[in-house]
Amino acid sequence: MTDTRLLRCCSASGCRSAGSEALLHALRDACGDACAENLAIKPVGCLRLCGRGPLVARDGPDGTVLYGGVPPEHAGELVAAAAGADETASLAGHRLDPGDPFFALQKAVVLEGCGRVDPESIDDAMAQGAYGQLRRCLLELSPEQVREEVRRSGLRGRGGAGYPTGLKWDTVALQPPGPRYLVCNADEGDPGAFMDRSVLESDPHRLLEGMAIAAYAVGAERGYVYVRAEYPLAIERMRLALKQARGKGVLGRGIFGTGFELSIEVRVGAGAYVCGEETALLLSIQGQRGMPRVRPPYPAQKGLWDAPTLINNVETYTAVPAILREGGDWFASMGTEGSKGTKVFALSGAVRNTGLVEVPMGTSLRTVVEEMGGGVPDGGAVKAVQTGGPSGGCIPAHLLDTPVDYESLRELGSMMGSGGMVVMGETTSMPEVARHFMRFSVNESCGKCLPCRAGTVQLASLLDRFVERRAVPDDLERLASLCGMVQATSLCGLGQAAPNPVLSTLRYFRGEYEAACRAPDRCEPRTVCVLPEEEESRP
Partner 1 sequence: MPTGTRERGAKAPAASLSAAEIARRRIDQVVRRNGGRADALIEVLHQVQEIHGYLPLEALEQVARGLQLPLSRVHGVASFYHLFRLEAPTAHRCAVCLGTACFVKGGAELAAHLEERLGVRLDDPAGNGEWAVQHVSCLGACGQAPVLVVDGELATKLPIDDPEELDRRLDATGMPTAAAPR
How far apart (Å, rounded) are the C-alpha atoms in residues 85 and 5? Answer: 12
* CB nearer to partner 1: pick between 217 and 238: 238
Do the Cβ atoms of 403 and 364 come closer than 8 Å?
yes
DSSP structural state of residue 449: S
Q: Is the link from the previous residue into 296 a cis peptide, with omega within 30 of 0? A: yes
Q: Of 256, 267, 180, 162, which Cα lies nearest the Cα of 217?
A: 180
How far apart (Å, rounded) are the C-alpha atoms in residues 96 and 58? Answer: 11
CB of 163 to partner 1, least distance (A): 24
CB of 413 to partner 1, least distance (A): 17
* CB nearer to partner 1: pick between 255 and 268: 268
* CB nearer to partner 1: pick between 270 and 530: 270
How far apart (Å, rounded) are the C-alpha atoms in residues 448 and 468? Answer: 30
**Element at 139 (helix H, strand E):** helix 132-140
CB of 284 to partner 1, least distance (A): 7
CB of 390 to partner 1, least distance (A): 9
* CB nearer to partner 1: pick between 447 and 484: 447
* CB nearer to partner 1: pick between 213 and 280: 280
CB of 60 to partner 1, least distance (A): 27
CB of 185 to partner 1, least distance (A): 15
* CB nearer to partner 1: pick between 362 and 420: 420
The C-alpha angle with vertex 519 and arms to 514 and 520, in degrees rounded to 5, equals: 110
* CB nearer to partner 1: pick between 272 and 323: 272
- What residue type is assigned to position 95 of the chain? R
DSSP structural state of residue 124: H
Q: If 0-12 CB within 10 Å is exposed, 13-18 middle and 19+ buried, where does residue 144 land?
A: exposed
CB of 512 to partner 1, least distance (A): 16
Do the Cβ atoms of 347 and 368 come closer than 8 Å?
yes
* CB nearer to partner 1: pick between 138 and 434: 434
Q: Of 377, 425, 363, 324, which Cα lies nearest the Cα of 104?
A: 363
CB of 377 to partner 1, least distance (A): 10
Q: If 0-12 CB within 10 Å is exposed, 13-18 middle and 19+ buried, where does residue 493 land?
A: middle
CB of 448 to partner 1, least distance (A): 11
- Sheet (strand 309-313) strand order: 263-268, 222-227, 181-186, 309-313
Name the site residues for partner 1 (rule: CB under 8 A): 13-14, 17-18, 50-51, 53, 188-194, 197, 229-231, 267-273, 284-290, 346-350, 354-355, 386, 389, 420, 422-425, 428, 433, 436-437, 440, 443-444, 446
* CB nearer to partner 1: pick between 357 and 529: 357
* CB nearer to partner 1: pick between 188 and 405: 188
- Sheet (strand 342-349) strand order: 355-360, 342-349, 420-425, 382-387, 393-396
Q: Of 389, 397, 438, 392, which Cα lies nearest the Cα of 414?
A: 392
How many contiguous H segments (helices) and E segments (strands) does the chain have?
24, 14
Q: Of 393, 482, 488, 498, which Cα lies nearest the Cα of 446?
A: 498
CB of 232 to partner 1, least distance (A): 9
Q: Which residues pair with 333 in a beta bridge?
A: none
CB of 526 to partner 1, least distance (A): 29
* CB nearer to partner 1: pick between 145 and 286: 286
